[in-house]
Structure 1
């Protein structure tokens, strides 16, 4: 397979996974699928990552995300 196809598939997979995270965080339902609101939330998060408290914010979000993943795995039937 050509290299550009492999890169395109990798990029497509990444975008699908990121969209899944938006859904997992319930942002679609909580915003009534308002794309402008979702983009605004993401821009706000990016602004926080540009601040002096970047490392502290990343740690907080990483912990919350890890807990959410762990809780979701426990809730799924095996």
Structure 2
């Protein structure tokens, strides 16, 4: 496989995973799939991260996201055990 093909597949996977996070956070439903609103929210986040308070906001968001991932994994564990 050529180098450009590998890079393209990696980028495609990254975009799919990032889109999955938007769906997982239920932002598509909450915004009624309003892409201008979603983009505006992302721009607001970017501005916040660039601000003097950016490191603090990043730490809070990272902690909250990690807790949500852990909670999702814990909730899925019993379902996975039942399937076996």
Gaps of 5+ in 1: none
| CA RMSD in angstroms, aligned pairs only | 0.6
Aligned counterpart, 1:60: 60
Query: TM-score, normalised on structure 1?
Result: 0.97
Show structure 1 runs of 4+ deviating over 4 A: none
The number of aligned residues is: 78
Higher RCO structure, 1 or 2 (CA under 8 Å, sep 6+)? 1
Higher helix proportion: 2
Aligned match of 1:34:
34
